[in-house]
A = this chain, B = another copy of it.
Amino acid sequence: MELKIQRAIVKFGMEDLYEYSDVDVLIVGAGPSGLTSAKYLADKGFKVLVYEKRLSFGGGIGGGGNMIPKIVVQEEALPILKDFKIKYKEAEKNLYTIDPAELIAKLAVGALDAGAKIILGVHVEDVIVRDNPPRVTGVLWRWTAIEISGLHVDPLYTQSKALIDATGHGAEIVQIAAEKNPELNIIIKGEKSNWSEVSEKLVVDYTGKVAEGLYVTGIAVCEVFGLPRMGPIFGGMLMSGKKIAEIIEKDLRG
């Protein structure tokens, strides 16, 4: 029986890797904004792939606020919660509490049932570029385990029409693209201290394209554009994820 299991996994798993070497949209990071964008993009019919460096999804959601298992969203985000069938409870005017575990699981199911593919344990270490005009056309990735191990192993490729950095505070993908390719003309301003009210709005406003083929969503937006950060309030993350889906739809179909 072991041989059958082995060959089923190698054969069907590798068919997936082969198939997903070339996608419409590649999202790096399976946190709130990444998963939200995955669902709406898959809903629109794109071939969507999400790479997550950990072995499960949720990004910074799982620890709630300083480990207290509760987080909040504001009224504007309720339609998205409804799209994902996530329960919420009014805490006070325009502020709703939700369960972190449910938010993680339902965001993932939402994305998966819409047709997005999520591959866990993947570390993206570089981007693929072309010039004239300069653009980003995919990534170089390795299993996170290789990254942690420090072993010297070459990466593989994934090709994308649109690449979304949904990696959170460090904006890791934009950072790499900026540092290694001056011709992309990306300037990273660095996240500012906390101002929840203002930042929840700005993070959605600034969500968008940073170079041809490269987009940013979620808290990584604050890092790139020098916006204040927020705390354990997730409405802006979800709305940013939805907005980037709309922008990319326009760009890819435009």
- Closest chain B residue to A129 by CB distance? B193
A200's nearest neighbour on chain B, judged by CB, is: B1
Which residues of B have CB within 8 Å of A128? 2, 193-195
The docked-state distance in angstroms from the alpha carbon of A181 to that of B141 is: 34
Interface of A: prevailing SS: mixed
CB distance from A123 to the nearest CB of B (A): 10
Are B55 and A13 neighbours in the complex by a CB distance under 8 Å?
no
**Nearest residue, chain B, Cβ from A229:** B126
For A59, the chain B residues whose CB sits under 8 A away are 152
**Cα A149 to Cα B63 with chains together (Å):** 12
Residues of B within 8 A of A109 (CB): 102, 105-106, 109
Report chain B residues within 8 Å CB of A54: 56, 62
Provide the bound-state CA to CA distance between A66 and B68, in Å. 11
- Chain B residues within an 8 Å CB radius of A205: none
What is the distance, in angstroms, from A176's C-beta to the closest C-beta of chain B? 7
Partner of A62, one of B56, B129, B146, B196: B56
Q: Which of B9, B65, B118, B231 contacts A71 (CB 8 A)?
A: B9
* Cα–Cα distance between A117 and B109 once the two chains are bound (Å): 18
> Considering the chains assembled together, what is the distance between the CA atoms of A104 and B130 in angstroms?
31
Give Cα A151 to B55, complex, Å. Answer: 8
Interchain CA distance A83-B190 in the complex, whole Å: 46
The CA-CA distance from A70 to B15 in the complex, in Å, is 10
B residues in contact with A104, CB < 8 Å:
56-57, 108
A119-150 vs B, Cβ < 8 Å mask (1 yes, 0 no): 11100001111110000011011111110111
* Cβ-closest chain B residue relative to A65: B9
Rounded to whole angstroms, the CA-CA distance of A118 and B61 in the bound complex is 13
Query: Are B65 and A55 within 8 A (Cβ)?
Result: no
Tell me which residues from 143 to 188 in chain A have a Cβ below 8 Å from any Cβ of chain B.
Answer: 143-146, 148-159, 168, 176-177, 180-181
Interface positions, chain A 58-114, Cβ under 8 Å from B, are: 58-60, 62-72, 89, 91-92, 95, 97, 99-102, 104-106, 108-109, 112
Partner of A66, one of B4, B154, B228, B229: B154
